[in-house]
Structure 1
Amino acid sequence: MIKGTVEKSVLILGANSDVAKEALRLYVDKGYHVVAASRSTAHLKTFVDDRVSDPTMVDIRYFDAVAFHTHQAFYDALPVKPNIVLYAAGFQVTNEEALVSWDGTYQMINVLYAGAVSILNIVAMDKHNTNLERIIGLSSLSGVRGRKSNFVYGSTKAAFTQYLAGLRQFLFDRNIQVNAIVSGYIRSKLTAGLQLTESLMLEPAFVAEAIVNAGNVLIIVPGWKWKIIYFVLKSLPERLVAKLP
């Protein structure tokens, strides 16, 4: 549990994702207290006990991204209001499954977009938390352009990135930074079993470094290869995008 005087704190939502756990570890190493929130509290506790340098700096809380009606109470009950908030909750089904199963599509929409908007609106509207300095969302290059292989998942990430862009403008006068981590393929539970280009795979710890060291720009693309791909995707004419997988 968090105890004593807190100077800086981080709230990680979806803290059991592979990237979020690495970010948790790095934040603790930097001296932050971390509220790690997830449905998988038992798995998270095992990670904290085994991999985090000072487990006493971590407070594990239950959080369900799609239980929208619980979000206000969750936020109100936090032991300390955060300086930094990271939304990293994840869920994915293949495009083929999403096109025939509304349940999978609906879950992606709720976890990757609606859940994020629900809790981050609460965070952003708490003007009593004068310590809030940064909100970070884990988005994806899948949301840069609509592609036939993953446009259902990509549409949720596109919506999330646009939300973060608008939130950044909304919070500008309060001097609160908002960042979208627009990542390529990450070696994680979500991508296990997918046929992805090995040379383009990013390690969770690498993406976590980009999160913890986020600067003042909206879009942060980890990895030089993915930076090139990002700019190519942004500039490709539609007739060429249509030829992509």
Structure 2
Amino acid sequence: MNQNTGKTVLILGANSDVAKQCIRQYIEKGFSVIAASRDISSLEKFVADHRLDATKIHILYFDAVDFDSHQKFYDELPVKPHIVVYAAGFLVDNEKALRDFKGAQQMMMVNYMGAVSILNIVAMDSNNTGLERIIGLSSLSGVRGRKSNFVYGSTKAAFTQYLAGLRQELSSRNIKVNALVIGYIRTKINEGLQLNESLIMEPDYVAEHIVNAGNSFTIVPNFKWKIIYAILKVLPESLVAKLP
């Protein structure tokens, strides 16, 4: 049901499969959306294909790793957001990341450095008194270091820790910060990977947890992943070492 909230959501990295579902669901709830991505044409096609209300959507160019452009991007927003979602992400397999630093560096820049760059700007704008919430998409890969994906996981671990500190920093202004700690999703980034089908979540399901985020810092969609998350947190290092 359209609630006509009059509020605006800024989605950074809006071309991901989950982010696109967030656009749709936020619009359905009556929000206006600023969808920011390097791939503007793909976003325009998504809006047209799903017959979304184009008057409620601004599509802007945003490059997570062009750090020098972030202040200008934020300053020129058509309206300052009430909610910000950082959904940009990049993944290369661990073997490639170990042998080719450029892949590892790109993960660091997109998954962590780009997030810190733009979210610091958002958070430190004390003139935006309407800011209510910042949501970052992290990963269970960042909960414990595992030999199959620890380079990617390290970028998500750093992002989660950043969000945890940002939550404390902004608590006095009553701005909520959430970390979506996500398992496998049926998305472009996971295409070609050998994943347990019973654990794969659909993008619209994950988007529901973003759009309906509550007060808890850590949000883990799906009860199976909640169990896995809880086990990973307490598993002895000797057993973590035996995981793939």
Q: Which category describes the TM-score, using the shorter chain as reference length?
A: over 0.9
1:103 and 1:48 map into 2 onto residues whose CA distance is 33
Aligned to 1:44: 43
2:81 and 2:5 map into 1 onto residues whose CA distance is 10
Q: How many residues align?
A: 241
- Kindly indicate whether residue 126 of structure 2 is the aligned counterpart of residue 127 of structure 1: yes
Identity, % of aligned positions: 68
Aligned to 2:28: 29
1:55 and 1:187 map into 2 onto residues whose CA distance is 27
TM-score, normalised via structure 2 length: 0.97
Q: Structure 1 residues 231, 52: closer, same or farther in 2, change over 3 A?
A: farther
**Gap regions ≥5 residues in structure 1:** none
**Gap regions ≥5 residues in structure 2:** none
AA partner of residue 129 (structure 1): N
The alpha-carbon deviation at position 25 of structure 1 amounts to 0.5
2:219 and 2:141 map into 1 onto residues whose CA distance is 14
1:52 and 1:132 map into 2 onto residues whose CA distance is 28
Aligned to 1:149: 148
AA partner of residue 209 (structure 1): E
How big is each residue's C-alpha offset from its partner over 1:60-106, in whole Å with a ceiling of 9 and x where there is no partner?
00000000000000000000000000000011000000000011000
Contact 1:8–1:33 (Cα < 8 Å) also in 2? yes
Runs of 4+ in 1 over 2 A off after TM superposition: none
- Kindly indicate whether residue 91 of structure 2 is the aligned counterpart of residue 92 of structure 1: yes
Written as runs of structure 1 = structure 2, the 5 A alignment for 1:177-192 is 177-192=176-191
Q: Structure 1 residues 130, 52: closer, same or farther in 2, change over 3 A?
A: farther
Contact 2:183–2:225 (Cα < 8 Å) also in 1? yes
2:64 and 2:34 map into 1 onto residues whose CA distance is 15
2:203 and 2:243 map into 1 onto residues whose CA distance is 26
TM-score, normalised via structure 1 length: 0.97
Aligned to 1:13: 12
1:90 and 1:54 map into 2 onto residues whose CA distance is 26
1:133 and 1:49 map into 2 onto residues whose CA distance is 29
The alpha-carbon deviation at position 54 of structure 1 amounts to 1.3
- SS of 2:19's partner is helix
The alpha-carbon deviation at position 112 of structure 1 amounts to 0.2
AA partner of residue 78 (structure 1): L
